[in-house]
Amino acid sequence: MRHTISLLVENKFGVLSRVSGLFSGRGYNIESLSVGVTTDPRVSQMTIVTRGDDQIIEQITKQLNKLIDVIKVTDMVELEHVEREMILLKVAPRPERKFEVFQLAETFRGKIVDSSERTYTVEITGDEDKIEAFINLMKPMGIKELVRTGKVAIAREGVKT
């Protein structure tokens, strides 16, 4: 089963490699990972998406907790939470389909953040289903390039631990 694990860690050099090294050294896979500093500049927030049965996820969360630089580990599966990721997608539609790109971007509440004679770059945020749906709709337009952030997740208010 897929789990989104949220980590608070010390904002020091080498911490990311300790966390990722834990996964690689024990043969666990990271599907996505995103990191950013919190309102406290000494603390960073990581969101890791990984997959495993209960026993593996239990080991992952325990092993993460054991790392000296890890302040808090939360498995989001246990909480009502909101997940988002963002993509930047560069398409090169045929002239007659240019308008469609605009329309779809609007429908998905995306933004055109760059354009050239032949291409548009669209920014979309949303949960995984929305992102996947948008990508599928854009495929016939001719996707030139696609970059995707990892997921970020936050617990809904009232259920925070």
Partner 1 sequence: MKITGAEILLKSLKKEGVKHIFGYPGGVVLNIFDLLYDDKDLNLILTRHEQGAIHAADGYARASGKVGVALVTSGPGATNTVTGIATASMDSIPLVVFSGQVPTMLIGNDAFQEADIVGITRPCTKYNYLVKDVGDLAHIVREAFHIASSGRPGPVLIDLPKDVTAGKAEFVWPESMDIRSYKPRYEGNKWMIQKAAALIAKATRPVIVAGGGVVLSGAHKELRELAQMTGIPVTMTLMGLGGFPGSHKLSLGMPGMHGTYYANKAIQESDLLVAVGMRFDDRVTGKTDSFAPHAKIVHIDIDPTSIRKNIRVDIPVVGDVKRVLTQLNKVLKDEKKEQWAAVKKKWLAQIEAWKKERPLSYEASDKVIKPQFVVQKIYELTRGDAVITTEVGQNQMWAAQFYKFDKPRQWLTSGGLGTMGYGFPAAIGAQMAVPEKLVIDIAGDGSIQMNIQELATAVVNNLPVKVAILNNRYLGMVRQWQELFFQERYSHTSLDVTPDFVKVAEAYGAVGLRAEKPSEVEPVLKEAFSTRKPVVMDFVVDWTEKVYPMVPAGAPIDHMLFPEEEKPEKKKLRAVK
Query: Which of 11, 16, 18, 84: binder of partner 1 (CB under 8 A)?
Result: 18
Does residue 59 interact with partner 1 by CB under 8 A?
yes
Does residue 66 interact with partner 1 by CB under 8 A?
yes
Element (H, E) at 112: strand 111-115
Give the helix ranges, DSSP H, for 26-121.
54-66, 98-107
Does residue 111 interact with partner 1 by CB under 8 A?
no
Does residue 63 interact with partner 1 by CB under 8 A?
yes
Q: Which stretch binds partner 1 (CB under 8 A): 55-63, 76-84, 101-109, 149-157?
A: 55-63
Minimum CB–partner distance for residue 82 and partner 1 (Å): 26
Tell me the C-alpha distance between 43 and 53, whole Å.
Answer: 30
Element (H, E) at 152: strand 152-155
Does residue 68 interact with partner 1 by CB under 8 A?
yes
Tell me the C-alpha distance between 121 and 113, whole Å.
Answer: 6
**At what angle are helices 128-138 and 98-107 packed, to 10 degrees?**
170
Beta bridge partners of 51: 2
Tell me the C-alpha distance between 1 and 54, whole Å.
Answer: 8
Query: Which of 69, 83, 100, 128: binder of partner 1 (CB under 8 A)?
Result: 69
Does residue 41 interact with partner 1 by CB under 8 A?
no
Does residue 70 interact with partner 1 by CB under 8 A?
yes
Closest to partner 1 by CB, 38 or 65: 65
